[in-house]
């Protein structure tokens, strides 16, 4: 859903500001730091011991020959000794804080989530997967509508002029939510870059689509002229993040600029158009904006699972359904107009 990713722009602002204030409150705790340091030496924390603590973060054994490597399944999941020590010390420290009436705090920039089968943020993973499923269902129903339910041209192509644009959008949206699920399941450098890069790619492409559809740009040459500078900028930005420096501040500014631009474009267009399904677009735009209040509030996870960000992911699920419904209605609307002109 297009509203997903320009609302991500606003989310980056608030997560960045909140992170500055509270990101290290938990990991700066002397008791927590002492627990982690002791665990990395002994391999045990709070009565729980980790056999793979014989291995440092690079997977090579401290006290064994070269073939004494960390198990492959642990390497794949990236749960090393330091990660397990941090997690268990965090859980133990939060229990101590709760016992004296203190609320949760963030550790290394994240709230204390409860793992499920090794998944770091189970609720966000589940809701990201549901968003992925909704986008797949929306794109598939759009495809069936175009090529099986609506009339086709003599060359078997759809009458709808924006069909190819929405096909690409659907693939980018599914890719973005896939990496969102992966990133929330395990936050490492690679999954973080894949999640951010795919989100920026979808956000940039969504801006292009909003311009082309709102201004009714149908000539291929004109589309290329509009899209080229945006594609060049987004590609350069992604390369900059991945191969030069991962600058959170700069990425936040870029996402805010792109997000606000397309939000304004859709809001203005829906205000002046006589599209029969414009109310659906209004609901998506307004609903997405209201959902961002969850990101502003940013409360800790309830029962270790449902934080503000996870619930925000949940709110985008029905909005995604409505968004693809609008796209299908737009295809019907434009096709009927073109068929009348062809007669």
Q: What is the rounded CA–CA span in Å between residue 233 and residue 334?
A: 31
* pLDDT tens per residue across all 343 residues of the chain: 555 554 555 444 444 444 444 445 777 888 888 898 888 888 888 778 877 676 554 444 444 444 445 555 555 555 678 888 888 899 888 898 888 888 888 888 788 888 888 888 999 999 999 999 999 999 999 999 999 999 999 888 999 999 999 999 999 999 999 999 999 998 888 999 999 999 999 999 999 999 999 999 999 999 999 999 999 999 999 999 999 988 888 888 898 888 888 888 999 999 999 999 999 999 998 887 787 777 667 788 888 889 888 998 999 999 999 999 999 999 999 999 998 887 6
Containing 330, the helix (H) or strand (E) segment is helix 308-342
- CA torsion through residues 250, 255, 260, 265, sign: positive
Among candidate residues 124, 143, 176, 238, the one with its CA nearest the CA of residue 2: 176
CA 257 to each of CA 11, 248, 252, 253, 271: distance values in angstroms, whole numbers, following the listed order: 13, 14, 9, 6, 21
Q: What is the DSSP letter of 68?
A: -
For the chain, what are the domain ranges?
23-111, 120-340
Q: How much of the chain is helix, strand and coil, in % rounded to 5? A: 70, 5, 25
CATH class of 120-340: mainly alpha
């Amino acid at each position: 859903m297009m509203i997903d990713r320009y609302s991500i722009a606003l989310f980056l602002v608030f997560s960045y500001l909140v992170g500055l204030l509270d990101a290290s409150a938990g990991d700066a705790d002397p008791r927590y730091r002492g627990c982690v340091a002791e665990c990395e030496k002994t391999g045990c924390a709070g009565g729980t011991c980790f056999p793979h603590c014989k291995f440092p973060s690079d997977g090579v054994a401290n006290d064994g020959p070269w073939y004494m490597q960390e198990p492959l399944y642990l390497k794949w999941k990236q749960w090393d000794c330091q990660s397990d020590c941090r997690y268990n010390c965090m859980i133990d420290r939060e229990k101590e804080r709760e016992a004296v009436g203190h609320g949760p705090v963030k550790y290394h920039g994240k709230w204390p989530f409860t793992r499920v089968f090794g998944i770091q943020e189970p609720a966000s993973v589940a809701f990201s997967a549901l968003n992925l499923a909704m986008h797949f269902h929306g794109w598939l129903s759009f495809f069936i509508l175009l090529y099986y339910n609506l009339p086709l041209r003599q060359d078997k192509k759809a009458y709808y002029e924006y069909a190819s644009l929405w096909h690409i959008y659907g693939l980018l949206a599914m890719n973005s939510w896939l990496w969102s699920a992966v990133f929330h399941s395990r936050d490492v450098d690679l999954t973080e870059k894949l999640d951010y890069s795919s989100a920026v790619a979808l956000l940039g492409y969504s801006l292009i689509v909003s311009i082309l559809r709102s201004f009714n740009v149908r000539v291929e040459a004109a589309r290329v002229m509009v899209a080229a500078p945006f594609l060049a900028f987004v590609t350069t930005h992604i390369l900059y993040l991945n191969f030069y420096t991962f600058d959170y501040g700069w990425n936040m500014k870029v996402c805010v600029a792109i997000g606000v631009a397309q939000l304004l474009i859709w809001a203005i267009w829906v205000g002046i158009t006589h599209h029969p399904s414009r109310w659906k677009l209004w609901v998506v735009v307004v609903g997405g904006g209201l959902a961002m209040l969850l990101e502003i509030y940013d409360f800790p996870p309830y029962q270790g699972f449902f934080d503000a960000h996870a619930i925000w992911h949940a709110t985008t699920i029905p909005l995604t359904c409505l968004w693809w419904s609008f796209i299908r209605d737009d295809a019907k609307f434009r096709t009927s107009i073109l068929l009348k002109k062809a007669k």
